[in-house]
Amino acid sequence: MRFISESPKERIPCYRVLDDNGQPILGHNFVQVSKEVAVKMYTDMVTLRSMDTIFYEAQRQGRISFYVTAIGEEAINVASAAALAMDDVVFPQYREAGVLLWRGFTLQEFANQLFSNIYDYGKGRQMPAHYGSKKHNYFTVASTIATQISHAVGAAYSLKMDKKDACAVTYFGDGGSSEGDFHAALNFAAVLEAPVIFICRNNGWAISTPISDQFRSDGVVVKGQAYGVRSIRVDGNDALAIYSAIQAARQMAITEERPILIEALTYRVGHHTTSDDSTKYRPANEIEWWRVARDPVVRFRKWIEKHGWWNDMAESELINNLRQQLLHTIQEAEGVEKPPLADSFSDVYDVAPSNLREQEQWLKEIVRKQPQEYPTNISV
């Protein structure tokens, strides 16, 4: 009689390519990256951080109601997107704006969504930072935790049935792995042999819940094996490691028709959202150490500088241009009229039922009676 131990004697190793100083680790193989791809990866990582800084400030000024940053997780966003193809279907959580940025979503499109103006593809119905773009194969963000994971499996199975040379990709945090959707999705994917990549951003915190209060297993990566899913643990702050792992995972998912689980170890340097103050539940010096010592953007910059692909002048020019562009997009998005109130009641029923029509008329009357409580650029 032999019981399986509740935990292995040794932890699953973490795949890395670059050390904390951006130097290649001897003996660690990786996918070679061209100068063009490497520079775009870096500039998009910097762009994402600049977006987060300025849009966060806009929320603090009361100009938008809500925002989510990806500070400290830029490598997972951008490097994974770089390793995918445009035909791959993305099911995000809410901290993957960098994936959409890589695929060509413009700064103005981001701002239009945040300010819920008439050019927002969601017609102002979504919370800020809940982006979506059919053109970029990026499903609209939903705040409900982990629901997108099973959706990705269904989409992957559809791609398999249609014999498409593509896969589905879904992102979620360590907190998402505590939801039943995660477990159902992994089992579903394994049994159906669906070409889907599960990317877990294990950033240590599910809002204020640390991973020590979430699971006793060796992280998330070991859960893949339990469901028959090939898995790997990767340094989420190492852009080259993420790029290499995702590219290999995509190849296996499509050619072998199998799901792949990737646990990317990282740290959420920013607050969970603008509604959170993370200093209430974690020490400020811990946040600062990760911000300075394990910065994924700085690490990758050192690597491209070593190759002669980047310098201080290019950095200064990029930062200045980004700030000007972002401030301009905010001014543009803020000045555009809001979607008409009627859009709040459309696109569900072919013919709206009487109770919905009554609600629409009631809302319009309220706006007319109390115009001071509503934006002046809203169309009634």
Q: Per-residue pLDDT tens for 102-115?
A: 999 999 999 999 99
Mean pLDDT of 76-81: 98
Examine the domain organization and report whether 351 and 266 are in the same domain. Answer: no
For residue 11, the model assigns a pLDDT of 94
The answer to whether residues 146 and 182 touch, using CB atoms and an 8 Å cutoff, is yes
- Percent pLDDT > 90 in the chain is 96
The answer to whether residues 100 and 133 touch, using CB atoms and an 8 Å cutoff, is yes
For residue 257, the model assigns a pLDDT of 98
Rg (CA), the chain: 22
**98-156, pLDDT tens digit by residue?**
999 999 999 999 999 999 999 999 999 999 999 999 999 999 999 999 999 999 999 99
Assigned domain for 4 exists: no
Assigned domain for 380 exists: no
For residue 146, the model assigns a pLDDT of 98
**244-290, pLDDT tens digit by residue?**
999 999 999 999 999 999 999 999 999 999 999 999 999 999 999 99
For residue 9, the model assigns a pLDDT of 85
- Percent pLDDT > 70 in the chain is 100
Assigned domain for 51 exists: yes
Examine the domain organization and report whether 290 and 263 are in the same domain. Answer: yes
- Candidates 200, 140, 194; CA nearest to 167 is 194
Assigned domain for 9 exists: no
How far is C-alpha 288 from the geometric centre of its chain's CA atoms? Answer: 22
For residue 177, the model assigns a pLDDT of 97
Instruction: Give all strands (DSSP E) within 14-109, no chain letters.
Output: 89-91
Examine the domain organization and report whether 353 and 282 are in the same domain. Answer: no
Domain, as residue range, for 348: 341-373
For residue 31, the model assigns a pLDDT of 96
For residue 377, the model assigns a pLDDT of 81
Q: Which residues are catalytic?
A: 268, 272, 281
Q: State the average pLDDT for the chain.
A: 96
The yes-or-no verdict on residue 189 having pLDDT over 90 is: yes
Total domains, the chain: 2
357 φ/ψ angles, rounded to the nearest 5 degrees: -65, -35
> Which pair of structure tokens corresponds to residue 213?
């209060």
For residue 258, the model assigns a pLDDT of 98
334 φ/ψ angles, rounded to the nearest 5 degrees: -70, -30
CA distance 66 to 273: 8
> Which pair of structure tokens corresponds to residue 360?
């629409």
pLDDT tier at 224 (50, 70, 90 boundaries)? very high
Assigned domain for 261 exists: yes
Assigned domain for 2 exists: no
The yes-or-no verdict on residue 7 having pLDDT over 90 is: no
The yes-or-no verdict on residue 175 having pLDDT over 90 is: yes
Examine the domain organization and report whether 116 and 77 are in the same domain. Answer: yes
The yes-or-no verdict on residue 378 having pLDDT over 90 is: no
